[in-house]
């Protein structure tokens, strides 16, 4: 019963995201057909050709008819074709999704490791006996706040300036392979590390005050060993609870990061499609993102 209830909630969320996106796109000023023709360089199309394009893509129907036709295609797995290229939306998603997922996984691993290390080091320092060590812990506790405050696009541009343009260690734009993944993954990992660090730091501090830590310390456990084993394991619950937030950060951040680094992923496809009012592609990207989030 519980699984069925959660599944129903997930279906409602995906439908609501898709519907809201559909309405917003059709409320935007401009004509998708005119944008499509200008993007393909066909500025001398006749009114008959324009009307034919409208009929081909169903844009000559009233809005409720277009909505029901698009929703019927979604329910049957047909996401339609791109207004701009004519390619099937499913094909475009299949080509770009692996790139974005690879970037998201790399950022999640880097951000999770950095955030966990920061949280453990902060709690170890702030619970130490040395005043100097506690002051160092206070400095470390401010790093997650700083990471959340930094704009993702600014971090990406800064990394490009230092490691690509000045040092030349990694490709500047459109790089492929591990070398081209480093800077985008680090850029996207910063807010993830900040979120993990904030949540885990609070949870570790709470666990440190529990009775079991006193027992283990009396048994001879060092602070580092206790924090990285029993206390860390007892503190993972709140971190798992914010998994949805982390997923949202990764999907939202991918749009900015892939645009800054000109990576052919889901985020850049979304930006291009919104600019050209390619409604089927935008709806496809939103649907995939909503399903991943759910």
Let me know if 230 is exposed, middle or buried by CB neighbors in 10 A (0-12, 13-18, 19+): middle
The DSSP call for residue 241 is H
| Cα(193)–Cα(106) distance, integer angstroms | 12
Q: pLDDT value at position 16?
A: 92
Q: pLDDT value at position 40?
A: 60
Q: pLDDT value at position 42?
A: 61
| Cα(177)–Cα(126) distance, integer angstroms | 40
Phi and psi of 60, rounded to 5°?
Answer: -90, -5
Quick one: tokens of 178? 């591990």
| Cα(270)–Cα(230) distance, integer angstroms | 43
Quick one: tokens of 118? 């920061």
pLDDT tens for the 294 residues of the chain, in order: 888 888 899 899 999 999 998 888 887 776 677 766 666 656 666 777 677 777 777 777 788 888 888 888 888 888 888 877 778 888 888 888 888 888 888 888 898 888 888 888 887 777 766 777 677 777 777 778 788 788 888 888 888 888 878 887 777 666 666 777 888 888 888 888 888 888 888 887 777 777 777 777 776 777 777 777 767 777 777 777 777 778 777 877 888 888 888 888 888 888 888 887 788 888 888 888 888 888
């Amino acid at each position: 019963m519980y699984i069925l209830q959660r599944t129903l909630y997930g279906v409602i969320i995906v439908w609501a995201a898709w519907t809201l996106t559909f309405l917003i796109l059709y409320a935007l000023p401009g004509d998708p057909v005119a944008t499509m023709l200008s993007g393909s360089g066909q500025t001398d199309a006749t009114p008959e050709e324009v009307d034919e394009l409208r009929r081909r893509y169903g844009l000559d129907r009233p809005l409720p008819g277009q909505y029901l036709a698009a929703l019927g295609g979604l329910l049957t797995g047909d996401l339609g074709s791109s207004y701009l290229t004519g390619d099937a939306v499913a094909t475009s998603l299949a080509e770009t999704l692996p790139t974005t997922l690879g970037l998201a996984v790399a950022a999640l691993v880097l951000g999770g490791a950095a955030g966990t290390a920061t949280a453990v080091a902060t709690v170890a320092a702030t619970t130490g006996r040395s005043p100097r060590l506690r002051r160092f812990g206070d400095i470390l506790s401010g790093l997650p706040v700083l990471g959340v405050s930094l704009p993702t696009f600014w971090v990406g541009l800064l990394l490009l300036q230092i490691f690509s343009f000045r040092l030349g260690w990694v490709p500047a734009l459109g790089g492929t392979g591990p070398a081209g993944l480093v800077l985008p993954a680090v850029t996207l990992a910063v807010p993830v590390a900040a979120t993990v660090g904030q949540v885990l730091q609070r949870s570790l501090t709470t666990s440190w005050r529990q009775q079991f830590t006193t027992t283990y310390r009396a048994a001879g456990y060092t602070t580092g060993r206790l924090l990285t084993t029993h206390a860390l394991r007892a503190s993972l619950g709140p971190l798992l609870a914010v998994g949805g937030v982390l997923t949202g950060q990764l999907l939202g951040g991918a749009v900015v990061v892939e645009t800054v680094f000109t990576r052919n992923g889901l985020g850049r496809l979304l930006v291009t499609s919104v600019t050209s009012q390619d409604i089927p592609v935008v709806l496809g990207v939103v649907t995939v993102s909503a399903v991943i989030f759910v």
